[in-house]
Amino acid sequence: MKLTWFGHSAFRVEIADTIILLDPFFTGNPSFPSDVETASRGVTHIVLTHGHSDHVGDTVQIAQKTGAKVVTNADLCSWLGSKGLEKLDPMNTGGTTDQGAFTVTLVNALHSAAVLEDGVSQSLGHSNGVIIKAPGEKTLYHMGDTDIFGDMALIDEIHGPKIGLVPIGDRFTMGGKVAALACKRFFDFETILPCHYASFVPYIAATADEFVTAMGADAGKVKVLKPGDTISV
């Protein structure tokens, strides 16, 4: 599995002949290092954690151009359908869908999920974390935007993720110290990629330093990427 971080919470996941974009917020992302066409080249699926604009991002444009299937919660799928998308796979918290080369499970996250249209806030279902499993690959957990919560222990018990994409930026998600506590108390990650920081500074953290320090003896599990970096896991 190859992972590329595009800044904020946007990732590209490559599994054999399958290419997944997670939360492809490219346009308007101040830390996005590439261009949309390059970042989305060959994409087969888009998986979204929730409906905020800094996570839905360029989903509509990318899906229309590439034909990629969009997988996310049912309410957000309905909204995306109203924007003209047809290749949608709706689901909800606790459910699993089989995408052929991999499965997607939506799990809880503590956050909100809405879009502002014509001055009115419209709910787009729950905010979620995403579990991705593929034969022969380590299980990946994109936490989405979230605070720590005790049922993370159940997520680990049920799914056993080894790769964690963890928000650390504070203000809108966990900060570095709390994110480190979540990783150490509830999970047995082998690889941790911090995200949701270094984009909208000073509103969120500029670096991953606090998180890495708080990980203590487990700091070696943390891979601090620069936007555009790719890692094989």
Let me know if residue 27 belongs to a domain: yes
Nearest CA to 87 among 55, 104, 63? 63
Let me know if residue 233 belongs to a domain: no
> What is the predicted pLDDT for the residue at 118?
84
CA distance 92 to 78: 12
Q: What is the pLDDT along the chain (233 residues), one digit of tens a residue?
A: 999 999 999 999 999 999 999 999 999 999 999 999 999 999 999 999 999 999 999 999 999 999 999 999 999 999 999 999 999 999 999 999 999 999 999 999 999 999 888 888 888 999 999 999 999 999 999 999 999 999 999 999 999 999 999 999 999 999 999 999 999 999 999 999 999 999 999 999 999 999 999 999 999 999 999 999 999 99
The 10 Å Cβ neighbour count of residue 61 is 15
CA distance 118 to 188: 44
Let me know if residue 41 belongs to a domain: yes
Longest dimension (CA), the chain: 49
Total domain count, the chain: 1
> Range of 173's domain?
2-226
CATH assignment of the domain containing 214: 3.60.15.10
Place of tokens 């599995």: 1
> What is the predicted pLDDT for the residue at 186?
98
> What is the predicted pLDDT for the residue at 122?
87
The 10 Å Cβ neighbour count of residue 113 is 23
Let me know if residue 164 belongs to a domain: yes
> What is the predicted pLDDT for the residue at 116?
84
Let me know if residue 231 belongs to a domain: no
Let me know if residue 103 belongs to a domain: yes
| One-letter amino acid of 91 | M
Let me know if residue 232 belongs to a domain: no
> What is the predicted pLDDT for the residue at 78?
97
Return the ∠ at Cα 225 (arms to 224 and 228), rounded to 5°: 170
Segment holding 232, helix H or strand E: strand 230-232
For 22-59, the pLDDT digits (tens) are: 999 999 999 999 999 999 999 999 999 999 999 999 99
